[in-house]
Amino acid sequence: MKADDFHAVVDVLFRNASVVDGTGKPRFVADVAVTGDRITAIGRIGNIAAREVIDATDKVLAPGFIDAHTHDDGYLLVHRQMEPKVSQGITTVVTGNCGISVAPLLTSCPPQPLDLLGPSSLFRFDTFSAWLDELRASPANVNVVPLVGHSTLRVRAMRDVAREANDAEIASMRQEVELAMRAGAFGVSTGTFYPPAAAATEREIVQVCQPLKTYGGVYSTHLRDETDDIVESIEEALRVGKALDCKTVFSHHKVAGKRNHGRSVETLGILANAAKMQPLCIDCHPYPATSTMLRLDRVAQSSETLITWSRSYPEAAGRTFAELRQSLGLTDEQLLEKLRPAGAIYFIMDEADVKRIAAFPLTIFGSDGLPFDERPHPRQWGTFPRILAKLVRESKLLTLEEAIHKMSGLAAQQYGLQERGTLQEGSFADLVMFDPDIVKDNATFDDPVQLSDGIEQVWVNGMRVWSDRCTIPSFSGRVLFRATADAQ
Ligand SMILES: [Zn+2]
């Protein structure tokens, strides 16, 4: 193409960017051209006609971040600009984690923890493909990697979820997994920590998830126990993954409760050994606190519990469990009764474990945010900039190249995303441009809905979705396809 061509030959031309390409390789200075939805050139690009030229001097240009653990299933439909995510440089979200997905389920009264996904009006899809159809018809500002939740399937298939599924129920759930995989799910998530699936046995999960074998999906698990029985729980998940001959994703890996602090040395050792025998990865976020439905076992294990929302006593949001207990003069059980259904943040982990887990070579990052919470955990708005600020710039736990590899290239590899996750010619133009010297999260536990600093511009499939601290309603996100998808 000659520079004097009448038509612009590229749509966007970044000049002098510090390219961190997502592979883990050292950064290099280059020009990057985008045409349509693809990256079309990287290197010293001479005089070329471009619709837009961006001076990226001293800025990092990287593949858009992949939020490997989200609960955005419903949020994507009603907040399509996805401000909490694109403002962090995220261009792809993995949905349906922890056993809970909005589809396939028709209900006006989703039981906890399904209600963490948002209002009951979201549970309006009788099939997984109906939800995907709506996402495709009204796309959001980010790409979607969908998982189907085993707890959702249990609530759908079983009258009484407090026992193991019988053969007919297993057959019905297996059929739903088959349909979801055919429709485009990347795999199944389970959450045996939670009431709707606590009675599910290993055998049930292996039976229900059989289609993962055929379709090459992932098995993603919120372990049965992340406290004293963490090792038994990891071993159970490894057996399930092995029986299904598929990749096991260990969600938000942690060792919770004071007496387990430090045990990530042991759990990561087990996982590193297991990884020699079977495919697996881990996701985590950079905070020592977690968040989910309000439950007394978690309260007891935590140094502090902060209420994020309460349907029956909304004024509790933002207050601590201990302070409410005292000021209302109630026992733990009475306070739980007064608040529920409710959500909470639990200060339950040790900083050293959090860092050790983040640095583990098979770890990718996921915010695990609960997007409809009134007073959410700050991870919903701050996870990725916080990693760049705290784990890269301040503590130097990770190099910038390592952190971005985990946020993009490695995550894409673990989920089998094609032509995404690395900045190379021919790949889809999911990009983030940020200032590495100032990028940081501002969301805190006291003030959790805050934009980060330093994330300057974000593109999804070649369209800008974030610029100058504002979202742009491009809605260029796509439902991504499994690499191993069988032709239907
Ligand atoms: Zn979870």
Please write the tens of the pLDDT for every residue from 297-311.
999 999 999 999 999
Contact criterion met (CB below 8 Å) for 209 and 185: no
How far does the centroid of ligand 1 lie from the alpha carbon of residue 116, in Å? 11
How far does the centroid of ligand 1 lie from the alpha carbon of residue 475, in Å? 28
Q: Rounded to an integer, what distance in angstroms lies between the CA atom of residue 472 and that of residue 86?
A: 10
Write out residues in the chain with pLDDT < 70, as ranges.
1-8, 484-488
How far does the centroid of ligand 1 lie from the alpha carbon of residue 223, in Å? 8
How far does the centroid of ligand 1 lie from the alpha carbon of residue 96, in Å? 10
How far does the centroid of ligand 1 lie from the alpha carbon of residue 73, in Å? 14
pLDDT of residue 487: 37
pTM listed for this prediction = 0.95
How far does the centroid of ligand 1 lie from the alpha carbon of residue 275, in Å? 21
pLDDT of residue 485: 46
Contact criterion met (CB below 8 Å) for 327 and 320: no
How far does the centroid of ligand 1 lie from the alpha carbon of residue 286, in Å? 15
How far does the centroid of ligand 1 lie from the alpha carbon of residue 390, in Å? 23
How far does the centroid of ligand 1 lie from the alpha carbon of residue 252, in Å? 7
Q: Largest Cα–Cα distance of the chain, in whole Å? A: 79
Q: Rounded to an integer, what distance in angstroms lies between the CA atom of residue 205 and that of residue 246?
A: 13
How far does the centroid of ligand 1 lie from the alpha carbon of residue 42, in Å? 39
Q: Rounded to an integer, what distance in angstroms lies between the CA atom of residue 45 and that of residue 380?
A: 38
Contact criterion met (CB below 8 Å) for 336 and 296: yes
pLDDT of residue 374: 85
How far does the centroid of ligand 1 lie from the alpha carbon of residue 97, in Å? 7
How far does the centroid of ligand 1 lie from the alpha carbon of residue 82, in Å? 21
Tell me which residues have their CB within 5 A of the ion that is ligand 1.
Answer: 98, 222
| DSSP β-bridge partners for residue 363 | 282
How far does the centroid of ligand 1 lie from the alpha carbon of residue 189, in Å? 9
Pick the closest to residue 101 from 163, 179, 215, 171 (CA basis).
179
pLDDT of residue 2: 43
pLDDT of residue 8: 66
How far does the centroid of ligand 1 lie from the alpha carbon of residue 191, in Å? 7
How far does the centroid of ligand 1 lie from the alpha carbon of residue 145, in Å? 17
